[in-house]
Amino acid sequence: MHPRKLLVLLIFISLSFHPDYVLPENVNLDFPFFTLRNITLLGDSYIRNGVVGLTRELEVPSSSSGSVIYNYPVAFFDPETNITASFSTRFSFSIDNVNPSSFGDGLTFFLSPNNQTLGSPGGYLGLVNSSQLTKERFIAIEFDTRQDLLFNDPDENHVGLDINSLNSIKTANSMIQGVNLKGGNLITAWIDYENEKKKLEIFLSYSSFKPEEPLLRVGVDLSDYLKEFMYVGFSASTEGSTELHFIQNWNFRTLGFRPIRPKIHPYNVSESSVPLRPPITVSDSGNRHHKRIGLGLGIGFPAFFCTVLVGFGWISIKKWKGIKSERTIKAEMVTGPRQFSYKELKSATRGFHSSRILGHGAFGTVFKAFFMDLGTISAVKRSKHTHEGKTEFLSELSIIASLRHKNLVQLQGWCVEKGELLLVYDFMPSGSLDKVLYQESENGNPLKWTYRYNSAVGLASVLTYLHQECEQQVIHRDIKTSNVMLDGNYNARLGDFGLARLMDHGTSPVSTLTAGTMGYLAPEYLQYGAATEKTDVFSYGVVILELACGRRPIEREDESQKPVNLVDWVWRKYSEGKLLEAADQRMNGEFKEEEMKRLLLIGLSCANPNSSERPSMRRVFQILNNEADPVVVPKVKPSLISRTACH
């Protein structure tokens, strides 16, 4: 090969392995009027003649809430450079009323990590769910038209900065600058945040000219609250009023990210950049020197060429094996989920950056992925291509791809490239049940009883589906709180089917190597390795007791550090006639006693050492919904009946 061609080939190869990172860019959105092209309407919001209406247009007092959100997440933080963006927005709005004496409640401009932000009517401004006041995460500017003492409002005509709470950090009465929020006139608002100066300013005017002085100036550092990506939008609400909320136009931009420079290739060099060298003096030994160079090149280039050839052959074989493996997986894959490209997933996870890690599991690492072209967020499970990993990957892919249930984490797609296995799932914004039940409880925000009970019902529903309603029975084998995810409304979704097995209905279980997590494994499964629907029921029972008690399956006593089994601990309370003492103390008694007792007894009946005494998941689901009588639970925990004893 000619040396010049070889050099170009090597440059090309080196460039092809250059990492493909997507850097955040400044955005500039401009909506002189609104269409459905790039926005999502939630709740009671609508578009009419290019104007967004956020609440119902009725002549009689009503309760209403609505929001409008830009479809695509906006970058606010770059973990590579540790830069937080500044932002500036301008919009024109009006708050009108059919009946001037019937006012309330106002509207907000907000930034949120959630693209499904729709709150309750009334003083919650369509921004916060009344039952999840401490769970919401947002930055909002409120334009409030009703004094709500619940949120310490100063008056019924004010602007305020809200961060994760409707109790404003600072407020100002808009009449200071002669602007009546609820007068029905078109008002233009400017909101500017400078990250370097840690300053936020809000301006209001009836005209299109920005005032010299802000209505409200707040010294605040928003870098702790501006996540890597956020959604931007507006919300509004009413309660027992005829107030109307309109957004007529909107401009939004971020500032501060470095412009993306075009890549400079090594061979794009101008003459002026080449250093001048002094002339070389030719001596008499030049001919001998040239001969030695020629000899070296004559031997070196063929050897170098052979090395490149061997390397090319090795890469080709590896690529061929990868294609063969991918074809094998495609052949075993059922139709349905989309096949993603590796480049797509790498870009969406910022090169699988550590800042995007959501968690780790037996299968591999889970990353948060932003698909900018789709305006969606997903979770990507990544595993190296080992034989064992491939087996689990194929198992999970072939099983969950054909499943459809509201309490399952839905599979979106998959990818097999570059020796890696990747699964793409719906992103669950509230995280795992394990995290919410323990970590957030420790921070003073215990999971509410309603969500706990609903989680128990949801899991019973999906396990009934897996065990009895699918064409083939699905045994999950790894039911635990860390594999139960919570969506934005805290509905339980079962995930991680890496250990799941398919069985024909009515067939005998096949003994396998025991897999799963200690504390959740049924006694007969530990002894014989035979996974059945009853072993799933046992694991479910442990999860139910965790929901009721707020304790892990195995905990150590404070003084002796002796491990205490949760099932034994609850059964002992039940034997002593003190069952309700097992309830999670962090809830401070804020639960329905009848439901708590029902959940504890179901947990014990499912965790019965003897599998034949455990109820089916259908029976559990019916009991939880008051459609069947509870299972009778013996006061003393039964002893395990072995197989030999049964014979």
State the sign of the Cα–Cα–Cα–Cα dihedral 615, 618, 622, 627.
negative
Q: Residues 609, 572: contact at Cβ < 8 Å? A: no
Residue 371, number of CB atoms within 10 A of its CB:
18
Kindly provide the b/e burial profile for residues 567-601, where b requires at least 16 CB atoms within 10 angstroms of the residue's own CB. Answer: bebbbebbeeeebeebbbeebeeebeeebbbbbbb
Contacts of 110 (CB under 8 A, 6+ apart): 117, 127, 138, 139, 140, 141, 232, 233, 234, 235
Length of the chain: 647
Active site annotation includes 30: no
* Alpha-carbon gap, residue 298 to 296, rounded angstroms: 5
* Alpha-carbon gap, residue 80 to 356, rounded angstroms: 12
What does each C-alpha distance from 371 to 253, 344, 375, 377 come to in angstroms? 20, 8, 6, 6
* Alpha-carbon gap, residue 286 to 440, rounded angstroms: 79
Tell me, letter by letter, the H, E, C secondary structure of 173-219: EHHHHCCCCCCCCCEEEEEEEECCCCEEEEEEECCCCCCCCCCEEEE
Q: Residues 377, 455: contact at Cβ < 8 Å? A: no
Q: Specify the DSSP class assigned to residue 575.
A: H
* Alpha-carbon gap, residue 533 to 473, rounded angstroms: 8
* Alpha-carbon gap, residue 641 to 588, rounded angstroms: 39
State the sign of the Cα–Cα–Cα–Cα dihedral 561, 562, 563, 569.
negative
* Alpha-carbon gap, residue 202 to 89, rounded angstroms: 10
* List 162, 478, 536, 584, catalytic entry: 478
State the sign of the Cα–Cα–Cα–Cα dihedral 108, 110, 116, 119.
negative
Task: Kindly state the helix (H) or strand (E) to which residue 396 belongs, with its residue range.
Answer: helix 387-400
Q: Please spell the DSSP secondary structure of 272-332, one letter per residue.
A: GGSPP-PPPPP-TTHHHHHHHHHHHHHHHHHHHHHHHHHHHHHHHHHHHHHHHHHHHHHHH
Q: Residues 55, 243: contact at Cβ < 8 Å? A: yes
Q: Residues 548, 596: contact at Cβ < 8 Å? A: yes
* Alpha-carbon gap, residue 480 to 556, rounded angstroms: 19
Is 381 annotated as contributing to ligand binding? yes
Task: Kindly state the helix (H) or strand (E) to which residue 399 belongs, with its residue range.
Answer: helix 387-400
Give the CA-trace dihedral at 497, 503, 505, 508, to 10 degrees. Answer: -130
With CA atoms as reference, report the closest residue to 126 among 240, 235, 245, 231. Answer: 235
Which residues are annotated binding-site positions? 381
Catalytic residues: 478
Which residues are annotated binding-site positions for ATP? 381
